[in-house]
Amino acid sequence: MDEATSNLLSQLRDIHSAGDPGWWPPAPGWWVLFLIAAVLLAFLLKAVYRKWLARRRRQVLLTALDSINDEIDANESPHEYLASLNRLFRVVALRAFPDTPCARLQGDEWVNFIHALMPEGTPSEELAVLATGPYEPSPKFNVSGLNQLARKWVNRYG
């Protein structure tokens, strides 16, 4: 070999391994995994937000029920008390069952609608005052029993 070739060969390095790969950008599999995790996180956050909204709505409705009990004396003005309680039942029903004809129901049909959706063993006599009470001169009803039914209704569907 001549000297020029020998000089060029001396400048060559032996076979060596490639350097460590960088951490960015990640391989395509990591992008897919990140996308799946992001979608799952979005669904989880949406579910948590819905539960939070439902709990908040339920608290607002229970506060409204408490204010009805605080502001209206059922013995002095039973018609106003029953009307307010009936409005609360209807607000919950319209929110929980928008595709049903519950907005048009009145009287016994309305009471039957509520009673059908209450837990088994719920006395229908206490709910019947919602249908007949507004038309009676002085309706008699169990205030605490009706209040408990309203709480069950709000907790279940509110």
Give the chain's end-to-end CA distance (angstroms, integer). 94
**Is the pLDDT reported for residue 1 higher than 70?**
no
Query: Crossing angle, helix 78-96 and helix 124-132, to 10 degrees?
Result: 110
pLDDT tens readout for residues 52-97: 999 999 999 999 999 999 999 988 999 999 999 999 999 999 999 9
Give the Cα separation of 32 and 54 in Å (integer).
Answer: 33
- Domain ranges for the chain: 56-157
Residue bearing tokens 């009471």: 111
Residue bearing tokens 């002095």: 76
Predicted confidence at residue 64, as pLDDT, reads 96
